[in-house]
């Protein structure tokens, strides 16, 4: 008996990957999990598909035949907040920081396990879903910082601070629990919502450092995001 798939209700993923064997394996695994997969092997092809269809998520290789995946991510972010997960063969911090800073939601280092990939995808889709995050208020004010949850924007002294989706999620978690110490595990569970074995703890440190550089007057002596040594972090201002 043939199984008829209802593609209209399937989450659609654009996979931009030029390794034919890897791309075939990804497609096979994700289609078994109920995703609709649209493949591309170049930046040009991926960008053309992105502008002609609607996707729920993008898996984007960094090294492609006609250029760098970072450039495609930058172009997509000019007009869209579609979640992006980088596929990278390099786990050096500079590449992680660059990918996250230009708007990626996550990254996964090759070689990876299928279970890990599926967990990362589901976690990103959950945390970027408009129905998955219930805010108590559309606005939170903390000192000279205003968080607008409806617009998903943050302002300091009435000037917008440009944040990546992950940075906004992290600040949302912290400032919704003001003056409360959150352990690193608590933060990671809220951000990724998957087993800790798949989470690079160093990534959280990268996000915190980048947030302080954008938010704090003196990142080395923060007023908002403070470190509680050996435990985690705390939003160190009252919120109203």
Whether 190 and 214 share a structural domain: yes
Whether 124 and 143 share a structural domain: no
Whether 151 and 68 share a structural domain: no
Name the pTM for this structure. 0.60
Q: What's the pLDDT at 11?
A: 92
Whether 158 and 77 share a structural domain: no
Per-residue pLDDT of the chain (240 residues; tens, 9 = 90+): 444 455 656 899 999 999 999 999 999 999 999 999 999 999 999 999 999 999 999 999 999 999 999 999 999 988 888 999 999 887 666 777 788 878 888 888 888 898 989 998 998 887 766 434 434 457 889 999 999 887 888 999 999 999 888 888 899 889 888 888 888 888 887 776 544 444 567 788 888 999 999 999 999 999 999 999 888 899 999 888
Whether 102 and 202 share a structural domain: no
Indicate the Cα dihedral angle 104, 108, 114, 118, nearest 10°: -30
Whether 105 and 194 share a structural domain: no
Q: What's the pLDDT at 105?
A: 83
What's the distance, CA 147 to chain centroid?
19
In a domain, 5, yes or no: no
Domain holding 107, by residue range, is: 10-128
CB 18: neighbour CB atoms within 10 A? 17
* CA distances in angstroms from 180 to 49, 89, 226, 239, listed in the order given: 45, 37, 11, 12
Q: What's the pLDDT at 235?
A: 94
Domain boundary among the residues 95, 128, 161 is at 128
Q: Provide the β-strand partners of residue 141.
A: 146
In a domain, 133, yes or no: no
Q: Domains in the chain: how many in total?
A: 2
Which is nearest to 121 in space by CA: 106, 131, 109, 102?
106
Whether 92 and 28 share a structural domain: yes
Domain boundary among the residues 128, 161, 189 is at 128
Q: What's the pLDDT at 133?
A: 42
Whether 192 and 216 share a structural domain: yes
Counting Cβ atoms within 10 Å, is residue 79 exposed (0-12), middle (13-18) or buried (19+)? exposed
Q: What's the pLDDT at 164?
A: 85
């Amino acid at each position: 008996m043939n199984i008829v798939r209802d593609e209209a209700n399937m989450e659609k993923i654009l996979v931009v990957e030029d390794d034919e064997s890897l791309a075939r394996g990804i497609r096979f695994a994700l289609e078994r999990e109920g995703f609709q997969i649209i493949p591309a092997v170049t930046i040009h092809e991926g960008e053309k598909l992105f502008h002609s269809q609607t996707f729920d998520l993008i898996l984007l290789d960094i090294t492609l035949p006609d250029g760098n995946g970072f450039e495609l991510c930058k172009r997509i972010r000019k007009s869209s907040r579609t979640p992006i997960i980088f596929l990278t063969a390099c786990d050096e911090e500079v590449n992680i920081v660059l990918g996250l800073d230009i708007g990626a939601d996550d990254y996964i280092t090759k070689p990876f396990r299928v279970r890990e990939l599926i967990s990362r995808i589901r976690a990103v889709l959950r945390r970027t879903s408009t129905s998955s995050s219930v805010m108590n208020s559309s606005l939170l004010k903390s000192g000279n910082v205003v968080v607008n949850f409806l617009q998903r924007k943050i302002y300091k002294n009435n000037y917008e601070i440009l944040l990546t989706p992950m940075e906004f999620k992290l600040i949302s978690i912290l400032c919704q629990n003001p003056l409360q110490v959150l352990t690193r595990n608590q933060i990671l569970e809220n951000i990724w919502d998957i087993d800790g074995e798949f989470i690079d703890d160093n990534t959280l440190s990268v996000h915190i450092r980048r947030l302080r550089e954008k938010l704090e007057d003196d990142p080395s002596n923060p007023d908002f995001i403070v470190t509680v040594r050996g435990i985690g972090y705390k939003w160190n201002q009252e919120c109203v």
